[in-house]
Amino acid sequence: MRSLEKTMSPWIAYHLAWITAASLLVSLCATLAAMIIVIRLPHDYFLHDAPQRIIVSHSHPRLRILLITLKNAAGLLLLLLGLLLSLPLVPGPGLLLLLVGVGMTDIPGKFALERFLLRKPFVLDSINSLRAWWKRPPLEIGPPSPSLTTHRRPV
């Protein structure tokens, strides 16, 4: 351990325990947040052609705009934090934060990409087993999105 500390900068060597604890805490929080989102998601959420606004669908228009803006800002912050934590030699759940950040933002094609990923048997089986453990019905996936299944080139 002493040789490792000599090669690191003194600040990192001094704060290594706190950096490790913070990385573990962020990993745990991001994992719990993803689990809560998957468990609370309506079973028919992916049957529709467009994503449903679960939280703000019946709110006042100004409140809805404010909440959507805050959600996108938080998603962008998680994207940036995920990029930072994805750098080599930086401990933390960088890829997980990137995925959660993309999931929170309203970017074009995100819903089709989510449906595409959920069509993978391993992903859907994992999510549905988690939902079954919490006594929630399995997710139902609608028909494939044409934007991700067909690749037509103009002639």
Residues 100 and 124 in one domain: no
Indicate whether 102 belongs to any domain: yes
Joined tokens for residue 81? 């934090």
Q: Is the pLDDT of residue 136 over 90?
A: yes
Q: What is the pLDDT of residue 70?
A: 92
Indicate whether 23 belongs to any domain: no
pLDDT single digits (tens) 24-35? 887 788 778 778
Q: Show the domain range for 77.
A: 55-107
Mean pLDDT of the chain: 77
Task: Tell me how far CA of residue 31 lies from CA of 36, 65, 76, 97, 144, in angstroms.
Answer: 9, 28, 18, 9, 27
Report how many domains make up the chain. 2
Q: Is the pLDDT of residue 23 over 90?
A: no
Residues 60 and 80 in one domain: yes
Indicate whether 49 belongs to any domain: no
Residues 68 and 94 in one domain: yes
Joined tokens for residue 107? 């970017």
Residues 86 and 118 in one domain: no
Residues 92 and 114 in one domain: no
